Structure 1
Amino acid sequence: MGKIHVLLKKEELNKEKLQGDKLVVVFDILLATSTITTALQYGARTVIPVLNGDEARQIVRNEKRDSYLLVGEYEGLPIKGFQSPNPKALKGKVFDKNVILSTTNGTVAIRNSVHSKFVFVASLLNAKRVAEQLLKHYQNETIILVCSGSSGMFNVEDFYGAGHFIHALFEQSHADWSLSDSAYAACEFFKSKQNKSAEVLQSSSVGQMLMKFGFDQELEFVSQKDVFPIVPYVKDKRFVVAEQYQKERGKIHGTN
């Protein structure tokens, strides 16, 4: 019987919880994992999640600058000299680039997950595809869904995203699953608001902050469910790359 557990914030992660055969899926709906999904959909070569702006600048100093794009925020505002991580703002900017992404929560959660057997990156935009691909890798391991949270606090949008993922997993698998209490609660919460994703995001504390910054359209964009066929995963404990469904991917340049 497969086991699914939800961690309510990235601070619950530690190497002990990741030991053994554990598959991890990371969520930061507002906005890192939505940004990663969108950047890869728009044709980025890779996304490199970093812990902070200083690490991002160090990578650029050591590499061929033209092929890299600095993207990042801290506490919701763009880092000076970086592109905004709001997904819609990346359209037309990331094609054929290695995106170095620094965010307050999501990129830290991804970096802290790399000691597991395999790490996927999911958002509302692509959860169904990630669930489908995870099942191809699944060999009766424990699945840990990591909600990044917000600066040490639980947030509702990642919890909703984890519930959406569990629901998508159930739709595609006839296996018996054992849910922890947190996984059960996430799934039930999603089902209770299955058609209200925009409302959930707008009502969250991070959503309220982003709306004060004028990012209403970004919230609407990332509240869409299962519109992208991109499946991001961590490679070599450093890069996030995409499993691509070319037939359905269509135009990825983001220039239209």
Structure 2
Amino acid sequence: MTGEQKPSLEVCLSPALLHLYDVKNSIVVIIDVLRATSTICTVLYNGASRVIPVASVAECIEIGNKLNAITAGERDGRIAEGLEHGNSPFEYPREFIENKTLVLTTTNGTKLLHMAKDAIEIITGSFPNISAVCDYLVAQKKPVILGCAAWKDRVNMEDTLFAGAVVSRIREHFSVDCDSALAAEALYQTSAGNIHEVMKQASHYKRLAKYGLEKDIHYCLTPDGANVLPIYRNGELIAAE
């Protein structure tokens, strides 16, 4: 992109900070590594027709009944009461999810998705689809906000690490003049060879490990296991062509 101005690349570390960013003129990447956005790309990679993200458990059940869809979601890392399935990517193999609709509600990720509704485009990102995300953002040549779902508005390690990994991969195509992007990239660069060990200090790692979910965590931190691009259109996430 020599000779032309590069678009901006910014990182919003928490939904509580999103109002400080120019969402309307940006592509927003929703990041909820443990586990919503890792599960969303896995479900679509395994052939689901769509994922409908909703804010509440009640809405999840209502839409699930109406569409005869699979209802899923978690609250604080556990399957939410009244729902059939949780937020583990391993619950959705191809033979179970192919051609089906998943209605999903999560503690942090679905909330941020609805907050970003005025963006030029919304996609979801996590390590299992990092290459698809990076390739798409570079091709679009538009301003980007990497939006971390965080944990109940508190900054978390895994979403920050993923944002830093994206910045690190695509920064030459963008103007990076955002301290949170630089901080995320620095965190990623110091952790890159050892990300699974670094994550053991993180609060959400400890929260999920308590439930025996280390296998989920390992999958969610591993690049390109489900390399599709979930794109938000008309209230649902579908795999981009």
TM-score (norm 2): 0.91
Check the 8 A contact 1:128/1:169 in 2, yes or no: no
Deviation at 1:111, TM superposition (A): 1.6
Check the 8 A contact 1:50/1:56 in 2, yes or no: yes
1:41 aligns with 2:24: no
Higher mean displacement: 223-232 or 33-42: 223-232
1:10 aligns with 2:11: no
Deviation at 1:121, TM superposition (A): 0.4
2:187 aligned residue: 189
| Structure 2 CA distance for aligned equivalents of residues 14 and 175 of structure 1 | 25
Structure 1 residues 179 and 219: alpha-carbon distance in aligned structure 2, compared to 1, 3 A threshold: same
2:61 aligned residue: 57
Q: Where does the alignment leave 5 or more consecutive residues of structure 2 unmatched?
A: 1-5
| Structure 2 CA distance for aligned equivalents of residues 220 and 16 of structure 1 | 32
| Structure 1 CA distance for aligned equivalents of residues 111 and 61 of structure 2 | 16
Deviation at 1:219, TM superposition (A): 0.9
Partner amino acid, structure 2, of 1:88:
F
2:79 aligned residue: 78
Deviation at 1:142, TM superposition (A): 2.2
Deviation at 1:15, TM superposition (A): 9.0
Partner amino acid, structure 2, of 1:10:
P
Deviation at 1:82, TM superposition (A): 2.4
Check the 8 A contact 1:72/1:102 in 2, yes or no: yes
| Structure 1 CA distance for aligned equivalents of residues 238 and 200 of structure 2 | 29
**Counterpart pick for 1:29 among 33, 43, 56:** 33
Deviation at 1:51, TM superposition (A): 0.5
Check the 8 A contact 1:34/1:124 in 2, yes or no: yes
**Counterpart pick for 1:129 among 127, 132, 135:** 132
Higher mean displacement: 220-229 or 29-38: 220-229
1:104 aligned residue: 107
1:93 aligned residue: 96
CA RMSD of aligned residues (A): 1.6
2:169 aligned residue: 168
Instruction: Point out the structure with the larger helix share.
Output: 2
SS in structure 1 at match of 2:8: strand
Check the 8 A contact 1:127/1:226 in 2, yes or no: yes
| Structure 2 CA distance for aligned equivalents of residues 95 and 15 of structure 1 | 39
TM-score (norm 1): 0.86
Check the 8 A contact 1:124/1:222 in 2, yes or no: yes
Q: Deviations over 1:114-150 (max 9, x none)?
A: 2110111000111121110122222xx3211101010
2:231 aligned residue: 233
SS in structure 1 at match of 2:44: helix
Partner amino acid, structure 2, of 1:24:
V
Deviation at 1:201, TM superposition (A): 3.1
| Structure 1 CA distance for aligned equivalents of residues 162 and 180 of structure 2 | 13
Check the 8 A contact 1:15/1:115 in 2, yes or no: no
Deviation at 1:240, TM superposition (A): 0.6
Structure 1 segment 133-172 matched on structure 2, within 5 A: 133-138=136-141, 141-170=142-171
**Between the two proteins, what is the percent identity of the paired residues?**
25
Partner amino acid, structure 2, of 1:3:
S
SS in structure 2 at match of 1:178: coil
Structure 1 residues 227 and 60: alpha-carbon distance in aligned structure 2, compared to 1, 3 A threshold: closer
Deviation at 1:16, TM superposition (A): 6.8
Q: Where does the alignment leave 5 or more consecutive residues of structure 1 unmatched?
A: 245-256
